[in-house]
Amino acid sequence: MTMDEFDVVVVGCGIAGLSAAITAQRNGARVAILERAPFEERGGNTRYTESFWRMKNADQVADDFEDRFAANAGGWPDPGILRDAVRDRENQPAVLRSLGIVDPDLIATIAEDAPKALKWLEEFGVTFDYLPLYFLSQSTTRMGPIGGGLALVEALGGYIDAEPDRFTVLYETAARGLIHDDSGAVAGVRAIGRGNKPLEIRAPSVILASGGFEGNPEMLSHYIGPQAQFIRPVSRGGHYNRGEGVRMALEAGAAPCGDFGSFHAQPVDPRSADIEPVVLNYSYGLLINDAGHRFTDEAPAMVDASYEVVTRIIMAQRHGIAFAVFDAGLDDVDNWQVTVRSREAPLEADTLEDLAKAMQIDPGEFSATVAAYNAACPDAAGFDPLRPDGLATQGLEPRKSHWARPLLRPPFRAWPIICSNCFTFGGVKVDERARVINTEGDAIPGLYAAGEVVGLYYRVYTGATSVMRGAVTGRLAGADAALRRNTPR
Ligand SMILES: Cc1cc2nc3c(=O)[nH]c(=O)nc-3n(C[C@H](O)[C@H](O)[C@H](O)COP(=O)(O)OP(=O)(O)OC[C@H]3O[C@@H](n4cnc5c(N)ncnc54)[C@H](O)[C@@H]3O)c2cc1C
């Protein structure tokens, strides 16, 4: 079947796709939306997130916003190429226009447009506020919509549902390939519906807003390596994101951007079926792998600023698993329960040997590890769980930099932790209009990317910026795509 009565096709209806579709429609476009999930599960990762935004207040992003992106700008790009960044984009050499880097212009656009996007969302009845999070204290400022990402999906999705004449939404329909015309412009999408039924939707603009490839084990193994077998999406929504958007754009010649070998890592309890069952109390205890050994500094900094790096080190362990181990001293930390979202009870025992057995770890190795750690702990005076307190181990490798207190008193408790994948970093390069840039540094006519399909992150995720990336790039893409509606097909 072929459908051709549209100006814009949007692939995906998370925050990026919904923002794009509504913006395009409000700018006069006839919009089709393709969504792999059924209606009840639409919204991908957005549906399950708490959707924190790295904001100081409703008018400004957090003070550290641009510094954090700069600190995580990736490898060591050639300064001889970067020096031309001072020119406007059209006059930059192609090698720079297509370079996969954290693009300062795009970061500046997101910083400037995030407050506008937040206020736009409030027009749909969403309220942003400073909401509690699973950290006891934070190294930055965050706001979020009351009701989380689900409130965003319901508010924007509700608008679309109320306008059936203006939006055609095809659920359980997955985009697979782009259609091009003879001029090299994008002219639509090939998709597959229930029962393996093929479908073509023709339109002069396509907005790829189908998330990353966190739900695609083949791409994860390809880009991340064999340890990818031990990670899983942090929410049900991630399973729907199988990377077709990224792949379609790359096949159309898009310049890759974002760190393909990495992803936003979160430490979760593998036993739990909860959404985002994080275990973030480990900096007050020890991390032990299944050989019974410590393998990393459990407390290099505040947990909200360091958990991603630590979690990736857990992924690198033999079976991609570790245990967060505590003695009764965990209860000295007021309110530590908010840092554990898993509702599975911890393993518990009165002796270290019995705890080792419950963890199925060699008791001798485990006891020796704890004894060496205990012997390296300083005097616990000055323990302060709410700030990096400098209580560091002495002469132990790897050291524990803060909150180092010996494990002596029963009950001993342990939570298993694996690395989960919130979303992947590998995507494509876009300009400030969310147009996809090809490997020659030029925009691909009619092709846009929004949300996770846009490559933005290297090294460590600048926390609480992915939903705002989706809202901002979605709105940019929708506005620009609508301008092409009168272009002859
Ligand atoms: C539990 C959790 C907590 C998080 N916390 C935060 C936070 O506090 N702050 C923050 O900024 N970010 C957070 N994130 C990340 C953030 O939620 C996502 O990165 C963001 O919402 C992605 O938006 P998106 O629109 O790009 O993709 P998604 O919301 O994932 O939407 C993609 C949509 O595309 C559909 N789709 C996929 N492939 C196809 C296809 N081939 N054809 C048709 N449809 C397709 C999917 O079904 C889905 O509906 C969190 C994520 C999770 C899961």
The CATH number linked to 195 is 3.50.50.60
| Ligand 1 pocket: which of 466, 468, 473, 475 to mutate (most atoms within 8 A of CB) | 466
Residue 201 above 60 pLDDT? Answer: yes
The DSSP line for 82-136 is: HGGGGS-GGGS-HHHHT--S--HHHHHHHHHHHHHHHHHHHTTT--EE----S-S
* 192 bridge partner residues: 174, 198
Between 105 and 488, the higher pLDDT residue: 105
**Residue 327 sits in the same domain as residue 196:** no
Tell me the CA–centroid distance for residue 182 and ligand 1, in Å.
Answer: 33
Q: In this predicted structure, what is the pLDDT of residue 136?
A: 79
Rounded Cα distance, 385 and 405, in Å: 11
**Residue 433 sits in the same domain as residue 398:** no
- Atom of ligand 1 at shortest range from CA of 12: 34
- Atom of ligand 1 at shortest range from CA of 242: 38
**Residue 271 sits in the same domain as residue 413:** yes
Whole-Å CA distances, 187 to 6, 109, 292, 411, 444: 11, 28, 57, 64, 11
Q: Tell me the residue length of the chain.
A: 489
Tell me the CA–centroid distance for residue 252 and ligand 1, in Å.
Answer: 23
* 180 bridge partner residues: 186
| Ligand 1 pocket: which of 46, 171, 428, 430 to mutate (most atoms within 8 A of CB) | 46
**Residue 342 sits in the same domain as residue 246:** no
Tell me the CA–centroid distance for residue 170 and ligand 1, in Å.
Answer: 18
Given 420, 443, 478, which residue is the final one in a domain?
420
**Residue 242 sits in the same domain as residue 299:** no
Contacts 24+ apart (CB under 8 A), 306-310: 307/265, 307/266, 307/267, 307/280, 308/264, 308/265, 308/266, 308/460, 308/461, 309/460, 310/267, 310/282
Q: In this predicted structure, what is the pLDDT of residue 405?
A: 97
- Helix or strand run (H / E) with residue 224: helix 217-224
Least-confidence region, from 242-251, 410-419, 461-470, 479-488: 479-488
Yes or no: say if 433 and 476 are a contact pair by the CB < 8 Å rule.
Answer: yes
Yes or no: say if 41 and 150 are a contact pair by the CB < 8 Å rule.
Answer: no
Residue 366 above 70 pLDDT? Answer: yes
Task: Scan for tokens 């990495």, then name that residue.
Answer: 262
Given 386, 404, 420, which residue is the final one in a domain?
420
Q: In this predicted structure, what is the pLDDT of residue 360?
A: 98
Range of the domain at 71: 2-262+425-486
**Residue 223 sits in the same domain as residue 275:** no
Tell me the CA–centroid distance for residue 204 and ligand 1, in Å.
Answer: 25
Q: What is the mean pLDDT of the chain?
A: 95
**Residue 121 sits in the same domain as residue 242:** yes
In this structure, what token pair is assigned to residue 161? Answer: 């549902």
Tell me the CA–centroid distance for residue 49 and ligand 1, in Å.
Answer: 8
Tell me the CA–centroid distance for residue 212 and ligand 1, in Å.
Answer: 8
Model confidence over 343-357: pLDDT tens digits?
Answer: 999 999 999 999 999
In this structure, what token pair is assigned to residue 129? Answer: 């506020």
**Residue 230 sits in the same domain as residue 287:** no
- Atom of ligand 1 at shortest range from CA of 453: 26
pTM, two decimal places: 0.95
Model confidence over 130-168: pLDDT tens digits?
Answer: 988 888 777 788 999 999 999 999 999 999 999 999 999
Q: Residue 335 is part of a domain; what is its CATH number?
A: 3.90.700.10
Q: Strand, helix or coil at 326?
A: strand
Whole-Å CA distances, 239 to 37, 123, 232, 242, 477: 10, 30, 9, 7, 25
**Residue 389 sits in the same domain as residue 374:** yes
What's the number of domains the chain is made of?
Answer: 2
Model confidence over 9-49: pLDDT tens digits?
Answer: 999 999 999 999 999 999 999 999 999 999 999 999 999 99
Q: Whose C-alpha lies nearest to ligand 1, atom 48?
A: 44
Given 420, 445, 470, which residue is the final one in a domain?
420
Q: Strand, helix or coil at 386?
A: coil
For ligand 1, residues with CB inside 6 Å are: 11-17, 34-37, 42-46, 48-52, 149, 174-175, 209-211, 234-235, 237-238, 240-242, 244, 275-276, 422-423, 451-452, 464-467, 470
| Nearest alpha-carbon partner for 434 in 3, 20, 14, 8 | 20
**Residue 69 sits in the same domain as residue 190:** yes
**1 band by pLDDT with thresholds 50, 70 and 90:** confident
**Residue 46 sits in the same domain as residue 128:** yes
Q: In this predicted structure, what is the pLDDT of residue 171?
A: 98
The 10 Å Cβ neighbour count of residue 119 is 12
Residue 488 above 70 pLDDT? Answer: no
Q: In this predicted structure, what is the pLDDT of residue 486?
A: 56
**Residue 137 sits in the same domain as residue 225:** yes
Torsion sign over Cα 237, 243, 246, 252: negative
Q: In this predicted structure, what is the pLDDT of residue 489?
A: 42
